[in-house]
Amino acid sequence: MSTNSAYSAPAPDPATGAAVKATDRAHVFHSWSAQALIDPAAIAGGQGSYFWDYDGNRYLDFSSQLVNTNIGHQHPKVVAAIQEQAAKMCTIAPGFAVDVRAEAARLIAERTPGDLDKIFFTNGGAEAVENAVRMARVHTGRPKVLSAYRSYHGATNAAINLTGDPRRWASDSASAGVVHFWSPFLYRSPFHAETEEQECERALRHLEDTIAFEGPQTIAAIILESVPGTAGIMPPPPGYLAGVREICDRHGIVFVLDEVMAGFGRTGRWFALDHWDARPDLVTFAKGVNSGYVPIGGVAISAEIAATFDERPYPGGLTYSGHPLACASIVATLHTMADEGIVENAATIGEQVLGPGLRELAERHPSVGEVRGLGVFWAVELVRDRKTREPLVPYNASGAANQPMAEFAAAAKRAGLWPAVNMNRTHVVPPCTISESEAKDGLAILDEALTAADAHVTG
Ligand code: PLP
């Protein structure tokens, strides 16, 4: 993509970098971290597919931060829209009708499937999930929500209890009304399946059984990521989402698809659900809707669920719901993505560069057990032994046990690539705007860094 790639990083300024770091360490309490064990890099700026520190190191961003900068860093059109909106009206309460909020909602509704035409805005993804659950519970009058073991849905109360990774454990109230089940993942099949068809059929049967034994009349919603992201970028087998839709219909259960990470171009379509016959009742979104330039998320709501709240007040709200600066950035982002063919670029880069390039790396590096994904949403599963599929590091490893992954990440950073690393995987998730030559540069660095992982292969 042309608009984003030209940039000039300022001259290195290590003294400022050291001062930023010292103040950060004195006063910033960081997410998900043992505060004394972290060493956050001090970052001076970014542009397009790159960001840089104060010491003269520039990184190709293969993480899109937390998989949110779908249009890259500092897209000039979106920066300008935020500046213009700031000059006009920084904030206004959610109860008023305002141009950018109405237009942002209209543009999102234009892209959501079916009759999901009403948009409730939140400040981010977790609150979107929180409110989707609230809508489903009020709509059905039922308490329980089913979610997948391999999932991430956010860190607020309902969202973290729905989450299926170790970050839930410390907050698991065991009374949040959540029941977990296994979603399909052929490479580590919970159902001992050998084909996508078997995995799909057995996963649907397992879900049916879970519902039967929980009592369908107690279940308000099933929530799934269309493509589970943080948990390993696992596109569902054909037929799975349609099968879940059918089960929900049969039992009067609300079907929620979480598109917070997979939505807005990441998979090479506007929504990941567009790849399949999914038909959800509610869709949660955040991140890519405006690349996170100003915090925002939301829920797209079907006509039937919206009608529940026609005469009865919706029991939820937020001071900053539909914040004008965030909404202005959504309007500019969605226009820019359409005008510049950014979603199509993500699809092409996936089909022609990242997919073939990663599969080629898999052939040459014994530490690569599997690559999977679509668009600019790929996982490279690292293993000690391709035959047994033993992960390169144990589940939820830290410290010395996580050393092989730490070595891989350090090698990538030394060579100028910022990788996304989760457990025994690296996720290849650059901006949707990445050019072919940038993607190829990144693959060349991964090639080099994977030799660090290969050194731990035992099989
Ligand atoms: N849902 C999914 C699928 C996510 O990937 C995330 C964040 O990574 C969230 C929800 C939570 O979003 P946020 O961090 O904006 O609260």
Give the mean pLDDT of 76-92.
98
Report the pLDDT value the prediction gives residue 4, as an integer from 0 to 100: 43
Give the mean pLDDT of 88-108.
98
In CATH terms, the fold of domain 14-74+341-454 is Aspartate Aminotransferase, domain 1 (3.90.1150)
Average of per-residue pLDDT values in the chain: 97
Q: How many residues are given for the chain? A: 459
pTM of the complete model: 0.97
Which among 239, 281, 238, 233 has a CA at the least distance from the CA of 261? 233
Give the mean pLDDT of 83-110.
98
Q: Is the dihedral angle over the CA atoms 126, 101, 67, 19 positive or is it negative? A: negative
- Nearest-CA residue for ligand 1 atom 5 is 261
161 CA → ligand 1 middle, Å: 13
Residues 16-63: tens digit of each pLDDT:
999 999 999 999 999 999 999 999 999 999 999 999 999 999 999 999
Report the pLDDT value the prediction gives residue 7, as an integer from 0 to 100: 59
Q: How confident is the model at residue 3 (pLDDT cuts 50, 70, 90)?
A: very low
Residue 118 has pLDDT above 80, yes or no: yes
258 lines ligand 1 (CB under 6 A): yes
Residues 345-354: tens digit of each pLDDT:
999 999 999 9
131 lines ligand 1 (CB under 6 A): no
Measure the CA–CA gap between 232 and 379, rounded to whole angstroms: 6
Report the pLDDT value the prediction gives residue 9, as an integer from 0 to 100: 73
What is the SS3 string spanning the chain? CHHHHCCCCCCCCHHHHHHHHHHHHHHCCCCCCCHHHCCCCCEEEEEECEEEECCCCEEEECCHHHHCCCCCECCHHHHHHHHHHHHHCCCCCCCCCCHHHHHHHHHHHHHCCCCCCEEEEECCHHHHHHHHHHHHHHHHCCCEEEEECCCCCCCCHHHHHHCCCHHHHHHCCCCCCEEEECCCCHHHCCCCCCCHHHHHHHHHHHHHHHHHHHCHHHEEEEEEECCCCCCCCCCCCCCHHHHHHHHHHHHCCEEEEECCCCCCCCCCCCCHHHHCCCCCCEEEECHHHCCCCCCCEEEEECHHHHHHCCCCCCCCCCCCCCCHHHHHHHHHHHHHHHHCCHHHHHHHHHHHHHHHHHHHHHHHCCCEEEEEEECCEEEEEEEEECCCCEECCCCCCCHHHHHHHHHHHHHHHHCCEECEEECCEEEECCCCCCCHHHHHHHHHHHHHHHHHHHCCCCC
Nearest atom in ligand 1 to the alpha carbon of residue 125 is 12
CATH code of 76-339, in short, is 3.40.640.10
Q: How confident is the model at residue 459 (pLDDT cuts 50, 70, 90)?
A: confident
Nearest atom in ligand 1 to the alpha carbon of residue 154 is 11
Residue 152's CB is within 10 A of a number of other CB atoms, namely 26
153 CA → ligand 1 middle, Å: 5
Residue 6 has pLDDT above 90, yes or no: no
Report the pLDDT value the prediction gives residue 10, as an integer from 0 to 100: 79
230 lines ligand 1 (CB under 6 A): yes
88 CA → ligand 1 middle, Å: 30
Measure the CA–CA gap between 321 and 312, rounded to whole angstroms: 19
Q: How confident is the model at residue 1 (pLDDT cuts 50, 70, 90)?
A: very low
Q: How confident is the model at residue 5 (pLDDT cuts 50, 70, 90)?
A: very low
Cα atoms in the 13 Å half-sphere on the side-chain side of 114: 16
Residue 173 has pLDDT above 70, yes or no: yes
Measure the CA–CA gap between 208 and 140, rounded to whole angstroms: 19
Nearest atom in ligand 1 to the alpha carbon of residue 123 is 15
More confident residue, 8 or 172: 172
Measure the CA–CA gap between 41 and 18, rounded to whole angstroms: 10
- Nearest-CA residue for ligand 1 atom 1 is 153
- Nearest-CA residue for ligand 1 atom 10 is 153
Report the pLDDT value the prediction gives residue 8, as an integer from 0 to 100: 67
Nearest atom in ligand 1 to the alpha carbon of residue 151 is 3
Residues 382-436: tens digit of each pLDDT:
999 999 999 999 999 999 999 999 999 999 999 999 999 999 999 999 999 999 9
292 lines ligand 1 (CB under 6 A): no
Sequence-distant (≥ 6) Cβ neighbours of residue 237 within 8 angstroms? 184, 186, 196, 197, 199, 200, 203
Report the pLDDT value the prediction gives residue 43, as an integer from 0 to 100: 98
For the chain, the first-to-last Cα distance in angstroms comes to 41
Nearest atom in ligand 1 to the alpha carbon of residue 286 is 15
Residue of 63, 66, 70, 152 best suited for mutating to test ligand 1, as the one with most atoms within 8 Å of CB: 152
| Cα–Cα separations (whole angstroms), residue 109 to 225, 342, 457 | 19, 19, 48
Report the pLDDT value the prediction gives residue 2, as an integer from 0 to 100: 37
Sequence-distant (≥ 6) Cβ neighbours of residue 213 within 8 angstroms? none
Domain layout of the chain by residue ranges: 14-74+341-454, 76-339
